Structure 1
Amino acid sequence: MPGSGPRSRVVTRTARAGDLPAVLALVRQHRADAHAEDVLTGHAPLNAAASGFRRLLEDPGHRVVLAVLPGPCAADGGATGELAVGLAVLGLDPLSLVLGNPQVTVDTFVVHREHRRRGAGAVLLASAADYARENDAAHVVAAAGGHEAERQRFLARMGFAPLTTRRIVTVESLSRSLASWERGGYPVPGPRRASAARRRPVPRRLTA
């Protein structure tokens, strides 16, 4: 699935099993940027990460896309002369579990720090748009953390609008919070009361 943008020499292609080292390097950067450095550095063994990557390659509901600099553009590339500079994991999910409208999700969307602002992000999103058209999906959804200002700006320039706010918690932390709530430590908040300004009656105007 090759693709390219008119303003970029970067091209995209579907990842292959031999791309595992390049994929893991980009995933490590993605996790570091998201302040989740423990992933792939001890908590997730390398063989488990490799198995997950291979499962994605065989899963018809996902596509792993690499942005690469081909040929002589990649002086330090591998045997094929390519240098992987970006990664996106595309998934096909329902926009609504009830309505079933399909959407394409862009996960692990990362561009190498030294190759940003050179079109890699744009061609990865072009691949997402192509994948959406192939699957009759009308929307592409990409996630960005609240601290990722650069990614937020890039997605906004590409026309992405805010959809929802997602929060994350470990099961252990949630269990502690629930236990505290059951003991009465977290009272259920009551309905909001109208502010004093809104409760204040409007004075009637006297007429002569």
Structure 2
Amino acid sequence: MSRSQVVLRDATTADAHDLVGLWADLMRRPSVGTATDDMVAIIEAATASDDDRVVVAECDGAVAGAIYLRLSVLSPINLEPVVQAISPHVHPSFRRRGVGRALMESAVQYAEERGIGHVAGASLSSSRDAHRFLARMALAPQAVLRVAPTHVVRAKLTVRRPAANAVGHRQPLGQVLAQRRSLRRQRESV
């Protein structure tokens, strides 16, 4: 099988529908408008930004994959500059044709143009193929980002509160027994 030539370019709003198809699992379900409207806003924001890019890979004139590139820091605590290669995704019918490598090449090239020494990759935790691909590109796990709805975290925090706080400020049994032992020792020493 011969490889088709992969052409990389910046995304335009005309690519919004194709990008929604690629990144549907990552996008929110908008309560107003459509996912395509959200994607148009994302593309426009990246185009207007000096630090963000949405790169599209084409094969034979069709959108074969895409990647979102962002200049950032490694974390709010580690201010090392990094190019974040967010969700490099290749359409299933274009896999094994060099599209993923070309997308990662665009991330490395973007980092080199800006003098950035590190590239970070992000993909869905459930995407085994994406994790294997990023590992082959020498990207090692750095952190785990866990996400949950706010109301679910609130419910878990409420359940995990000590029972003493819920019942009129009583001390836990262990503290009561420790105080009694301490008082008993004081009386015996007098």
State the TM bucket, normalised to the shorter chain.
Answer: 0.7 to 0.9
> Which residue, 56, 59, 65 being the options, matches 2:55?
65
1:111 aligns with 2:111: no
- Aligned-pair CA distance for 1:43: 4.3
**Residue correspondence of structure 1 range 15-26 to structure 2 within 5 A:** 15-26=11-22
CA distance in 2, matches of 1:99, 1:40: 29
- Aligned-pair CA distance for 1:105: 0.6
Q: 1:8 to 1:122 in 2, by over 3 A?
A: farther
- Aligned-pair CA distance for 1:163: 1.3
1:106-156 CA-partner distances (Å, limit 9, x unpaired): 113211011111111000000000111122211111123443221111111
- Aligned-pair CA distance for 1:63: 0.5
Report the equivalent of 2:40: 50
SS in 2 for 1:137: coil
Larger RCO (CA within 8 A; separation ≥ 6): 1
SS in 2 for 1:161: coil
**Residue correspondence of structure 1 range 121-160 to structure 2 within 5 A:** 121-160=100-139
1:37-78 CA-partner distances (Å, limit 9, x unpaired): xx4555463233422331122111200000001xxx3xxxxx
Given that residues 8 and 120 in structure 1 are in contact (C-alpha distance below 8 angstroms), is that contact kept between their aligned partners in structure 2?
Answer: no
Paired positions, count: 160
Identity between Structure 1 and Structure 2 (%) = 28
Report the equivalent of 2:69: 90
SS in 2 for 1:68: strand
Report the equivalent of 1:166: 145
SS in 2 for 1:117: coil
Structure number having the greater helix percentage: 2
CA distance in 2, matches of 1:42, 1:99: 33
**Residue correspondence of structure 1 range 165-204 to structure 2 within 5 A:** 165-182=144-161, 184=163
- Using the size of structure 1 for normalisation, the TM-score is 0.69
CA distance in 1, matches of 2:163, 2:119: 42
Q: 1:43 to 1:108 in 2, by over 3 A?
A: farther
SS in 1 for 2:143: coil
Report the equivalent of 1:200: none
Gaps of 5+ in 1: 1-6, 74-81, 186-208
Counterpart of 2:5 in structure 1: which amino acid?
A: R
Given that residues 102 and 136 in structure 1 are in contact (C-alpha distance below 8 angstroms), is that contact kept between their aligned partners in structure 2?
Answer: no
RMSD (Å) for aligned C-alpha atoms: 2.2
- Aligned-pair CA distance for 1:96: 3.9
